[in-house]
Structure 1
């Protein structure tokens, strides 16, 4: 309907049907399809098979789709489109004062990250004057399953999204404490979802720990993860639960109030 109205109110040459159909292909995956053939794409869009072939091969050439046999599936590059949303939303600007306060109160770096396929990507960090720091920067990527921020982001996925993650995930034993069982990780993510935070100790690297909470809208849509990572040293899990976690949880209402709600 929207396409018809647009074509009626604007000169035909200002509406690119091929671009519209290319975006529709990406939306088909967003509606729950994991893979598509050229024929299925043609049927979804009600176009010829030749037209559907040009669309999917163009998206593959641009890096948004990958082909395995006759099947096409999304690649993490589609998240570049999502990063544009984060930029337009000004998520870093909204979170920066809160992140600065958290970093100052705890004395550790506070980070903001998003999920990119099987990894988290740091999109903002607020440092402290502490000499001993993790060697991580904006743009750094870490396996989601072995990091507290990744765990809150995975816990925020819907069932289809989580199923897709586990279909592709390879859970390597990075330390003796890493979750390598998909069943155990699913149970952990259920717990993280229910409690609203994740505490990770020595799962990524022995001696390193992290505490993270989801950055979510009032309706519960998880946009990013916010967390503190540190060299644990002589401090134990009790320090994370009693000193770090309360600071993050106290910030959660302010985060929800700061984020515009897109609705569902």
Structure 2
């Protein structure tokens, strides 16, 4: 009698490999690992997994726009917003790490810094915040660099949204629709006029606009919470990887990725 080989939970999720990836550096010279280093590693690995899922969902949302599939698009936006809320909430866990607990192993990070997260840069590119000055952090020919370059040369969610509106009969100028995909999102009075018309005529599309605003606001909330977490943990010290720490992060606050959706609030 032959026995069928069944897929197991551990095998499907590659748990053995996954659970071997939390390697504490503080215990490598014969001493005991610092207790909070495990938390630090796991939190950041989980963030990277959520970044991967957000990119997956944003690509799907962009495809749903191209297909004019509003129901699935709204559902996908709800999922994206829920993931973002979870990411913000995870900072509560990281803030249980006291400053001295972090300083006990901080030097083990050496040049490592969250600014080197290529997936977070991909997220920014996917939302339309594109610029070339981040490429220098990644080695030429590396997988991180290739992934970022692919995202840089792909249409953003905002560009897809404007094409979606154009397909629905709203007047989006040709020069806006044909902008170079590598150009960062810029506010447009003509786009704002179309968005005001949309808000007055199409309540279903208003739902989509509000979810995009929620996404923008959620990202700004994440940035704010990140800054406060860094200030709480290391104060005004420089960040790892020779960065300026909280001072650098503070410069990213209050920078919307969908400026037209905020600009119209005064004129509605």
Kindly indicate which of the two structures has a greater share of residues assigned to strand.
Answer: 1
Q: Scaled by the length of structure 2, what TM-score is found?
A: 0.27
Q: Scaled by the length of structure 1, what TM-score is found?
A: 0.27
Larger RCO: Structure 1 or Structure 2 (Cα < 8 Å, ≥ 6 residues apart)?
2
Kindly indicate which of the two structures has a greater share of residues assigned to helix.
Answer: 2
